[in-house]
Structure formats: C-alpha cells, structure tokens
Amino acid sequence: MAAAQAAEEGHVRAWVDRTDVQAEKPFRLFVEISGESLSPPRFEKTDALILNVYTPHTFRLSMTVFPARLFARRYIFKFSFITSALSHGVVFIPSIFATLHRPALTSTPLVFP
C-alpha cells in the first residue's frame, strides 16, 4: 500500500549514461520528476562536479490517470545535464530534490568507484 501511495504522489529518479564515470570526461546526468504539480530539480552544492544546469535538455509528458474514479493530471519531466567530475577516485552525485504539491521528494544519491 505504501508503494502505491508513493507512486501516486510522484518520484524523483536520477541516472547517468554510462557506468564508467571518470574525472574530466563529460557524461550526461538524467533526472526524471513525476507528479501532479512539479518544480525544476534542485541540486545540493558540491565542489566535486561541474553540472551545467543552465541549458538542460528537457522532455515533458502529460497524461490523465484514473485512480479510484477520480481524474488526475500526471506530469513527467525528464532533464539531461552535461556533467563532469573534477577529481579522480569515487564520484558522488548527491540527492536531487524537486517540490511537488506536497513536501519535497529526493532521488537516491549516485556513487561510482
């Protein structure tokens, strides 16, 4: 029941376009935000990454869902950010936040050895 409720409230999900994330080699960070009303993603400040948040590629999908006989509009935003790690070693991408009509949701942090 909790998983179904969380799915109805929305989610924030993040992933990258490769598994071999290395310093000074650009990669794409993808963020998907889903819910009834959305805000753009917010990022924790980090000195370990260069993240181009000014010119993301975006995709927006809107659909109507019918949970329990009620009409609800569901939005899905997908963002793609060009990103680079600044130092060698473990690459840590902090949680990404988005505010829906309820409290903020976060993504799971990403870690690459």
The pLDDT score that the predictor gives to residue 63 is: 63
Q: Is CATH 2.60.120 the classification given to domain 2-112?
A: no
Mean pLDDT, to the nearest integer, of 48-73?
A: 70
Whether 110 contacts 14, CB under 8 Å: yes
Long-range contacts, 41-44 (Cβ 8 Å, 24+): 41/12, 41/79, 41/96, 41/97, 41/98, 42/96, 42/97, 42/98, 42/99, 42/104, 43/94, 43/96, 43/97, 44/94, 44/95, 44/96, 44/97
Domain ranges of the chain: 2-112
Mean pLDDT, to the nearest integer, of 73-93?
A: 85
The pLDDT score that the predictor gives to residue 15 is: 92
Task: For residue 17, give both structure tokens.
Answer: 């376009």
Which residues, including other chains, have CB under 8 Å from residue 21's CB and lie 6 or more apart? 27, 85, 91, 112
The pLDDT score that the predictor gives to residue 65 is: 61
pLDDT tens digits, one per residue of 11-54: 889 999 887 888 888 999 999 888 777 778 888 888 888 888 77
Cα 3 from Cα 40, distance rounded (Å): 24
What predicted TM-score, i.e. pTM, was given to this entire model? 0.74
